[in-house]
């Protein structure tokens, strides 16, 4: 019998690793929902809606458990940079982020066994140094950016791209641990 009380509504290896670092046991059941921004939807509202939809979709399959959903977006001048559709798109995004600041926002939703939902967000400001065209092409050629919002992994090959960061590093990786552990403690899923 499965006695785990928390389900992570994500298959992201980064989220699995980060949540594991929080010291809580959980099972994984990805939501597989369409991720499409609605017309005139503000970036933070988009992330919140997706996190809630993921959590609710998975909660419907796991009666009596808590479900954690999350969505991370990268925003530069109100442009939401999703996962790139191809190499050219990844290169375009990285050129857009070069020598400038952008925001990484992660919305986290926790649905309880009673169906109540709490959604919170964490935003980190990141500034990239000037990236050369060859750096961008070489990084994209590694294929690492292809499944990442904003076309980069701060914990991977793009580790040297940021010259300044204000906010939680784990948020840029994909799950703001400080915020998540606070929510899980409040729910009684981990101890202080």
CA 28, 37, 62 angle in degrees (round to 5)? 25
DSSP state of 167: S
What is the spatial distance between Cα 140 and Cα 132, in angstroms, rounded to a whole number?
12
Surface-to-core class of residue 64, CB atoms within 10 Å of its CB (0-12 exposed, 13-18 middle, 19+ buried): exposed
CA distances for 155 relative to 41, 104, 145, 164, angstroms: 29, 14, 12, 14
Q: Convert 21-50 to b/e letters by CB count within 10 Å (16 or more is b).
A: ebebebeebebeeeeebeeeeebbebbbbb
DSSP state of 93: H
Specify whether 71 is catalytic: yes
Spot the catalytic one: 45, 71, 114, 163.
71
Residues taking part in catalysis = 71
């Amino acid at each position: 019998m499965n006695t785990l009380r928390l389900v992570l509504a994500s298959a992201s290896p980064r989220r699995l690793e980060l949540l594991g670092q929080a010291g809580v046991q959980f099972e994984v059941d990805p939501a597989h929902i369409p991720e499409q921004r609605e017309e005139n939807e503000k970036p933070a509202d988009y992330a919140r809606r997706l996190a809630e939809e993921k959590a609710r979709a998975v909660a419907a399959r796991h009666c009596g458990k808590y479900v954690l959903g999350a969505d991370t977006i990268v925003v530069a001048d109100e442009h939401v940079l999703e996962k790139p559709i191809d190499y050219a798109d990844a290169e375009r995004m990285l050129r857009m982020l070069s020598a400038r600041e952008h925001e990484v926002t992660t919305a986290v939703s926790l649905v309880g066994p009673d169906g109540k939902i709490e959604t919170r967000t964490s935003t980190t400001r990141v500034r990239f140094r000037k990236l050369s065209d060859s750096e961008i092409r070489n990084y994209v050629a590694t294929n690492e950016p292809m499944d990442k919002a904003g076309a980069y992994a701060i914990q991977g090959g793009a580790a040297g791209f940021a010259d300044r960061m204000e906010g939680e590093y784990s948020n840029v990786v994909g799950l703001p641990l400080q915020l998540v552990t606070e929510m899980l403690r409040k729910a009684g899923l981990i101890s202080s």
